[in-house]
Each structure stands twice: as structure tokens, then as C-alpha cells.
Structure 1
């Protein structure tokens, strides 16, 4: 049907006949000559319809925006060169123009920004946009680069089941009712976690899979209920073996796909250090600002909020210096307080340093009156504050303060142009093994319940569960967790102990994970792995903040597909076949 792509027509084809197919990007009528920019997935080329060819000219005069055309003609030089496009030195003089399909008025103009819901409803039109075409081709290139790298290093691509057993790993499963087993359900996998561990026990040594995963999570911005990850697992490895292998892979794909040279060795940082310095377990190192603990300086102060947190073993008083922040208005500082409140802050204390040389008289702050001169100097010295700076404070429970001060650090850094134009990868290691859920009155796994602790002794783990450190690790890039993994538990008694600490009794563990506990008894090797978010890596490479821009048919933040109107109601007869009855939701 065609001989060439629109976007690849160049001077090498001068005076040659070509047949092109594509869409009408623009049409211009200039004094009796019609110009059409014809677009396909490679780009655009200018088509010229001259009155000397009456039929082609008539068709060109009648076509509309986004009409689908087939054009036959000869390549010639353009009089007015357009250096902005690859085809800008040539054009095609049309001999024949066929309308393959007309287009009615579009719901939005592809060259203009539009409401996201409207774009998702007509996603097939949204995907025609050149930037979306580029993003999707970049994603294809990324996946191909990953496969090339891993295939060359002896990894086996093995598919694992989509219909599997419900084994919650921190989010709700999507459940699939069985028609032939009345009242029983499959679950869609949140990850291939247990299957890839079983493959190591089966002796496959190095596994990978570009895996589709599903999580019925509560609504969160820029999360998708179905997503794609690169899953990997290694037998007979320790942490550094996995990290070195995948670090080389990430360096390789960034070089091959987007021409970026990442650091020769990624820095490593413990979870404790990341939370202390940056208030996040995925710190964005492009922002140089750091949190500073000032509890020692304010422990004896009259300011009760600070004093209580400073004297609480589980408390924190943290400060953040904002360079040049004294120029912020009270309204702008209040806006920072409102932002911190979204992450758990009950208030935001601050000191504006107008002139450090004047001491107390050079400060503007609602809390300075609670501190003596020595304390004020100690706090300002600790954060390195000078004239023209603003110091923000957080006090309270350690985790809460870290969370909202970390969020403030990011906001201040972005708002004030303090984000370095660079790629800053790192490893975050030594995560806590457990977090205590006060509502549920039990521990929960910080990574997942199959992560090995650093201690080998079961009694030691049980005695020190609160402070236990795991063998987990995350790869972080520019403030985004792009991969997370761990060394796994490979002894059945340790796995049973972890289940017990998580409140999963022996009977429940057998019902949910009996197959795993059984497999661990048959010479399971030490093993570990990692999973990378393909969507997130593609979004970073494409320079977009939203993973929806690199997913062909994404869902909204409320897990809806506006194009197909899914999820949708199912006819009663079909539900009856599945032995399922829908109950009306109870009124709130």
C-alpha cells in the first residue's frame, strides 16, 4: 500500500516516485496551491497539490483534519526549507490522492493540550500525538534493550501464571471467580514473587520476566491498577551480587536508549541515613538541601512542642534551611505549612533570618521568644543559616516529622529552582525488617514477608523484632524508586518465624503458603532478586512526570478505563454461571 514512511522521506529520494500513507496534520491553501502536512508514526512530510493535476488538487481541497490518505507522487526540493523537521528540505508533488477514510470533527485538537479525562476517553486519538508516539517507541526500545542485556548474560525468560492463589503482599488482590469450582477464586498476581523463588528452588539459577502485575490499591496519584515490571531472581547470591549485576544493566540501558551516562558506581545509603538527612527512603539527590536534627539544642527550651519531641526517644525535632528564603511572604510560608499538613504536620514553625549579625533583633519568627540567645545561635549554627535564609522546623513522632519535612524539602527545592539538571542514582539499603501497625496491633513487613533478616538466628529475630534490619535494597533515581528487591528467606524455620511475627499463625500460613514452606524443605538455595518498574523508568527517560504518558491504554486514578467504560456491570446470567451474587453497597 505504501513504499515509504512520511517522516523518512529525504534528499536521497529526490526525483523518485513514492507512495505514502498517513493522516492530514494540517492543510493550507496558498493562492491556488494546496499544501498538506501528511503524518505517520515516523513524522510529517509536505504534500503539494497543484491545479495542473485537477483530480489530486480537487481531493486535496476537500480533505479535512485527520483524514486518512494515500498519496502517490514525486519527491522534489522544497523552495522554503524547514529545518525543524527531518523532511524539511523536500516535498512530494502529488499525482494522486486517495481518501482511505474521512474523519468527523475530533473531540479535541491534537496539537493542543486538552482535559486528561477527554484524552483518555479517546485514547486512540491521543496516541496519534507525536510526543505520545515518541514516548511509546522509547518504551519499546527500553524493553528491547533490557531483553538484549539479560539474554546475553544467561538469564532465562520464563512466564509465570496470571491466574494464581490469593496471597496478599500489602495491597488487595484482584479476584477472579472460578466457574468450574463453585465459590472459589483465583487472584491476579501482584508480582511473580513466589513463582520466581520456586524457580530458583527448581535450579534455573537466573530468571527474568517482563511481567504484568495487578494491585487493587486505594486511590493514589500516578499509580495504575495494572502495571509492568522487570522481574529478576538469582540463585546462590548475596546482596552485592544482585546489586552489581543490575546496576550494570541500568547503566547499559540508559546509555543505549537515551544516551545518558550514569555514575560508574552508584552510592549506597542506609535507610536510617536517608530518613535522617532527607526525610525519605527514596531521596532526590539532585536537591542539595538536607534536614538537620536540632533536638540537642532545644531539649531544655520552654517551647513545649519542641521540648517533648526532643526528650522522646521516638521523637524528632528537625530543621530545614531554605537559602534566600527570607524573601518569602507570610502567605507563602503559610502555604508551605498547608503542604506539610498533607503529610501529617500539625503545624510548621519557622525563623526568618533577616540579618544574622544583629542577633535576636535580626530575626523574624513566632517562636523565637521561647528560646534564649544561646539556643537560637545553636539552632542557626546547626543548620548553617545566614542572613536572608529561612529555617523551617518540624517536631513530633520521628516518622511523621521525617515524612512532612521530607515533603517540604522537595517542594522548596522544586519551587526555588534548586533541582540540579543531572541523573542521581543510589542504592538505599538496610531497611527495617518490620513496621508496627498500631491499628492492627501487629508488625507488618516493610518489603514483603519473604525478605530475609540480617540475623540468621530465629531467637535473635524474635527477641529484637522492633529493631531488626532486613536484607532488602531499593534502587532510587532522581527521587523515584525504580527497583526494589532483597535476599529471600531460604530456610523454612525462618520463614515460619517471620510469618509468626507478622501475625500469620501456623494454620493460616499453611493455607496460604503451604506450597512455599514445603518447597523450602527440599534443599532450597540461598537466593535473591529485584523488580524494576518499567513504566516508571520509561517515564523518567521520556521526561514526563506521569507514567500514564508511557502506557498505551492507562486507567484513571480511580482505576477506570474511560474509553471502554470499565469496570462495568455484568449480566445476572453470567454472574450465576460464576456462582456470584452482587450485594447492594450499604449506605454510608
Structure 2
């Protein structure tokens, strides 16, 4: 008897397990969004429909023996399901099911092939493909707010409609761009290695040891590439006419909302190509992607010839800004053109800074008229603007002067006495019509011709003001400096070829960049070519003793694409001449000939052997998608991102490796 009971239990267990694998093949099931395409008004109640998915909502009682639940499919679409108690007994959120049944109209609704919400799904059969084996946390009772789900349940986030849409959009736009580049422009996709050599390209690298022995006595390592930069230049010397790939890149750097340890970039390079040609391709790629996802409802804008916003029709419609212009006007090389707040250069009023640091001789302000109504608001404003979280890079804070009484207006200049002399404070008071309730935020910066600190203190504040959650501040900005409610794209060009080199160990002194005397570094990367008009000046610096001021004046053929204050990508015309590249390494970047051979010998050899002129670009694909999809961080558009500390909580990476004997 006991043996018979045991046999029945074993058989029951086998049947339950077997049932998990007995279901209608996928090609005979229906995505929820397509259900109404398969039925007609005269037969919808008799048409059997099969759907696979997960329980989205715990069954609730409608009547004595009638229960309602919701099922969600792979696309994140949700369908209301009606069944009896026996059918839905024991069903819980995130159970994986296959259901069969038919549609019925809700009360007071008429048949329409447009709106599935007018229907309910009448359950006839239900197969449990996999039950949730452990209690699901209470906050997962619905995925309507998937952003709140903890990192270790990332796979549950991906089941929601939001993330299903993100993954599908990412795939579709990749396919769109591949077809455009290959079928219309004759680009060739080339995959480049992920195991590379260590080279100085800016950020710290991730290293992979060469030997199987954990001790790695040979001390040999691969480096994961920060970008395919050198590979694609090698391909140009290899006869590839137009190269592209969606490349994986790795950078071991401080993480922010728009950074991940590993990320994807759309990498492009054109042999015998100019910067103008590359910019056209990139601009059209961006515009095609934008229009494909947003359609006409949400076009991409730029600044027209008349200074007003205009929908971009093609790449030539995108406004070009000079680097020096954006740095002095907006305090950033990636200005958010939606923000109307202006920086006021006070040199026209005889103001001169440089009292704390002589290099930073310009004094500029942001004037916010009639802003503060009380001492409490003044405290809240300063608390937000001067919050230490905004200055984790040790950059200096601006001075915030709030005018709560008449003396604050009359003697406003005294608030800035430590950093600047103002010859005519009364003229400023009159010109700006300063009054009680006004706020002046001020700081020093470098001279107009040589602005390398990026962003400047006020360039940072321009953005910080709009990130606040303080109601009084948000209301003030909305009423007086409303942010433009459109997406704005621009080019930034004419970057300096070199920048003063910041000390690697002590990057800031009193909040100012700590430049190493007489030393420079490439503003972008060392393979960037200068403007041909500035080539004689570059040659002069190579042949003679370096004049730092002249050297920093030389402009590069580099170009960045900016959307809403975010750098979408950057590119340049490259150096393809061996002698010039070697001279730049040696004279300005202090890489001697032997070290050049060790680090870049492969590339220099290509330059010696008929490498053609070439130009290229890289679009930060994750960053671009986050803008298109209006997500605040690139983590939202990556299937399995790392957290802000670089950890993958879902998989438990990085993990310890046990050393062998």
C-alpha cells in the first residue's frame, strides 16, 4: 500500500514536470498586441486564441465564482483574463502560463479592431509552464513601476512593457542603421578584437592576464580596448574604404549616469574621407534614427540662420558652434541649448578676476532677478547650488550672493572681493537694475581665448539649477527662465589641438585645475589632425622651442555632436603621415622614439606604407538611445548594466578567483 502511494506521488511529480514542457509551439501562439488582427466582428467569440506570458496581477474576485487577472507577454503587452475559481486557484504574480480562450466585449462596448482594452479574455484552458517557486517580494505584485525593482531582479524589469520596448527599439534602430550604411552608403562591417594591448588613451584600462597560471609570472596582460580607434585606422591602411561596427568598449573610470564600465559605440571611418563627409553621414544616421522612432510628433531641432529653432531636414541643417564660442557663452563644450539662462561676462564693466589664480582672469555672473522672497528660500537656494554632491571632482564652488536688504544691493560687489575687482559696481547695479530679491551667482574663469576648464563653475551651475527638486526654485525657473520643451542638436567644432596637462596625482588646487607647467596633452586623442591653416604654426612649434600660448591656439579638425547638453559622439580627421605623427608624440606628448615603437609601432608602420587620408566618428550608442527614449541614464537602455559602483548585482560580478598552488 505504501509502495502504491509512493508510486502515485512519483507519477504525479513526473506528470507535473512533463506538463511544463507540453505547450503549443510559439508559431501557433499570438502576441497580445496582434490579437485583434486575427478576429472579425462575426466570429471573435468563437475564435480560439492562445497566449503565452506571465501573470501580471494577482487574481481578484468579481462575483461568486468569477475571477479576474491579467497576463503579460514578451512584448510587455497586458491582457485582462476572466476565469472561474478552479482555473485560477493558486495562481500568483509572475507565474509563467499558456492560456487558451476567446474574446468577449466588456459591458457597453461595441466591436472595434482598434482597441483591445474594450475586450476581456474568457479563459477556457490554462497550462502552468513554471510557477514562481519562492515568494515574490510584495513590491513586485505589479510591474507598473519597474524602475523601483531592485538590481538583483533585473530580469523581472525586462519583462515589463517599458523595457520590452527599449530592447526592441535598440534592435530595430541597429537594423535600420546597418541597412542604411551597407545598402545605401557601401560601408563594410568589420569586427575588431577585444583582447588588445595596453596603450595610453586617457581612461584606465581593464586588464586580462595572458597565462593560465593565476600567478602570471610572465607579467603579460591583454587590455580590453577603450575604443577600436587604432584598429579602424589600421583598417584604413588595409584598403577598407568605409568601415563601421557596433563595438564594445571598456573604460575603468568614475561612473556617472551616462557612463558604464562597458558600453557600445557605433564606430565609423572613411578612407579618403574628409570631416565634412563624416559629419554628413553621422548627422543623417542620427536624424534617420530619430525620425524612425519619434515620427513627426517629436522632431529634432537646431538653431536656424535666423537664430530661431528649426526642424532639421538633413545634416546641413544642424548648427555649428565654435569651441571658444560655447565655452565663453555657455561654460561648456556640450551646451544644453534648451536652457535660456545666460552667462554675463563682466569685463565690459571693467571687472577683472585673477586675484586667487592669475590664469583665471575673467569674472562672469548669472543674474536671477526677483527670485528670493525670504531667508528660508535663500538658505534652500544656497544649499542646492553649493551641495557637495555637485563638486565631488573637487572643482570650486561659485559665490552665491542673495540680496535680502538694500545694503546687499548697494554693496553687492563686496561678496566677490576675494576673486575679482569691479571698477564700476554702481554701473552694474544700474545696468542690471539690481533690486532686493535678486540673486547673483559669480565665479572666475580663464580668458576668452584659452578656456580649458570644462565645464566652468557657472557652466556647471547652468545645468544644476534645473536639476533641483525644490518647489520654489522650479516654479521660479518655470515662470522666468522656462526650459525649451524640444530636443536640440548642434555641432561643436574648432577644438584646440592641445590642452594644458592636468597633474595626474593632484588634479585641483583650491578648486582650480592644477596644470603641469609647460606640459600639454591631446585635447581628444593624439591621432587628431590640426586645421591646415594652422599647420605652419604647428611646424614652427615642432622645429623651435615651444611657445605654449601659440601651441594652445592651434585648432584641430575635431567635431562633437551634442543633443540636449549631452555629447552623443565625437570624431576627427586623423593624422596619416608617419613623420608628423612621430614628431607630435615626441615633441609635445613626451613619448620618445623607442616608446613609440612599443606602444604604436603597428600604426606608425601602416603610416609609412601608403596609408590614405581618413576621417571617422564614434556615436555613443547607449547614450544616444537614452536620449531618443527619454531615459535619465544609459543603464535603462542596456539589458544587463552595472551599478554606480561598477558591480553586476544580478550575476555577482566581479567575483573572486581562487589562486592555485
TM-score, scaled relative to structure 2: 0.78
Determine if contact 2:275/2:615 at 8 Å carries over to the other structure: yes
2:458 is the counterpart of 1:425 = no
TM-aligned CA deviation for residue 337 of structure 1: 4.4
Which residue in the other structure is 2:247 paired with? 211
Q: Is 1:495 the equivalent of 2:495? A: no
- Aligned ranges 1:401-420 → 2 under 5 Å: 403-414=456-467, 415=474, 416-417=477-478, 418-420=482-484
Distance 2:659 2:408 in 1: 76
Match of residue 424, structure 2, among 375, 385, 389: 375
Question: Which runs of structure 2 are paired with 1:125-136 in the superposition (5 Å)?
Answer: 125-136=156-167
- Name the stretch that deviates more: 414-423 or 229-238: 414-423
Shift of 1:331: 0.3
> In the alignment, what sits opposite 1:583?
none
Aligned equivalents of 2:115, 2:590: Cα separation in 1: 62
1:299 Cα deviation from its structure 2 partner: 3.6
Mapped to 2, the partners of 1:521 and 1:35 lie a distance apart of 74
- Given candidates 222, 230, 243, the residue that maps to 1:186 is 222
1 CA distance for matches of 2:422 and 2:261?
Answer: 54
In structure 2, the CA distance between the partners of 1:382 and 1:199, relative to structure 1 (3 Å rule), is farther
On the 8 A contact 2:399/2:443 being kept in 1, the answer is: yes
Please give the alpha-carbon distance, in whole angstroms, between the structure 2 residues aligned to 1:198 and 1:483.
21
Instruction: Choose the corresponding residue for 1:509, options 572, 590, 596.
Output: 596
What's the offset of the Cα at 1:471?
A: 1.0
Could you tell me how far apart the structure 2 residues matched to 1:563 and 1:373 are? 57
Query: Residue 101 in 1 paired to residue 101 in 2?
Result: no
Kept in 2: contact 1:77–1:91 (CA 8 A): yes
Question: SS of the counterpart of 1:230?
Answer: strand
Stretch of structure 1 that moved more, 325-334 or 528-537:
325-334
Shift of 1:183: 3.1
Matches within 5 A, 1:125-524: 125-151=156-182, 152-179=184-211, 182-259=218-295, 260-262=298-300, 263-264=312-313, 265-299=317-351, 306=353, 308=355, 312=358, 314-327=360-373, 329-339=377-387, 344-350=395-401, 352=403, 365=412, 367=414, 375-380=424-429, 389-395=438-444, 397=446, 399=452, 403-414=456-467, 415=474, 416-417=477-478, 418-439=482-503, 441=516, 442-454=519-531, 455-457=534-536, 458-462=538-542, 463=546, 464-500=550-586, 501-524=588-611
Change (3 A) 1:225 1:307: closer
Partner of 1:67: 95
The aligned residue for residue 15 of structure 2 is none
- Say if 1:317 and 1:401, in contact at 8 Å, map to a contact too: no
Q: Decide whether aligned partners of structure 1 residues 468 and 149 sit closer, same or farther in structure 2, where only a CA change above 3 A counts.
A: same
Which residue does the alignment assign to 1:580?
none
- Secondary structure of 1:176's partner? strand
- The alignment of Structure 1 onto Structure 2 pairs a total of residues equal to 556
The C-alpha deviation readout for 1:518-574, integer Å capped at 9, x for no partner, is: 10011221111100011111111111111111100000111111111111111213x
Residue matched to 1:525: 612
Structure 2 SS opposite 1:9 = helix
C-alpha displacement of 1:491: 0.6
- Cα–Cα, structure 1 residues 380 and 523, in superposed 2: closer, same or farther, change >3 Å? farther
Tell me, what secondary structure is at the counterpart of 1:100? strand
Moved more, 447-456 or 419-428: 447-456
Q: Distance in 2 between matches of 1:381 and 1:248?
A: 48
Unaligned runs of at least 5 residues, structure 2: 1-23, 301-311, 468-473, 505-515
Two-structure CA RMSD over aligned residues (Å): 3.0
Structure 1: which 5+ residue stretches go unaligned? 51-56, 301-305, 577-588
Q: Is the 8 A contact 2:365 2:441 kept in 1?
A: yes
Give the drift of 1:341: 5.1
- Give distance in 2, aligned partners of 1:169 and 1:490: 18
Instruction: Name the SS for the 1:308 alignment partner.
Output: coil
1:469 Cα deviation from its structure 2 partner: 1.6
SS at match of 1:520: helix
Matched, 1:20 2:20: no
More divergent stretch after superposition (173-182 vs 280-289): 173-182
Offset at 1:3?
2.1
Query: 2-side partners of 1:11 and 1:337: how far apart?
Result: 54
Moved more, 460-469 or 551-560: 460-469
**Pair 1:395–1:351, CA change in 2 (3 A):** farther
1:413-440 alpha-carbon deviations (Å, 9 max, x no partner): 4542322110110001111112222425
Alpha-carbon offset, residue 270 of structure 1: 1.2
Q: Which residue of 1 aligns with 2:649?
A: 562
Q: Match of 2:619, SS? A: strand
1:124 offset after TM fit, Å? Answer: 0.8
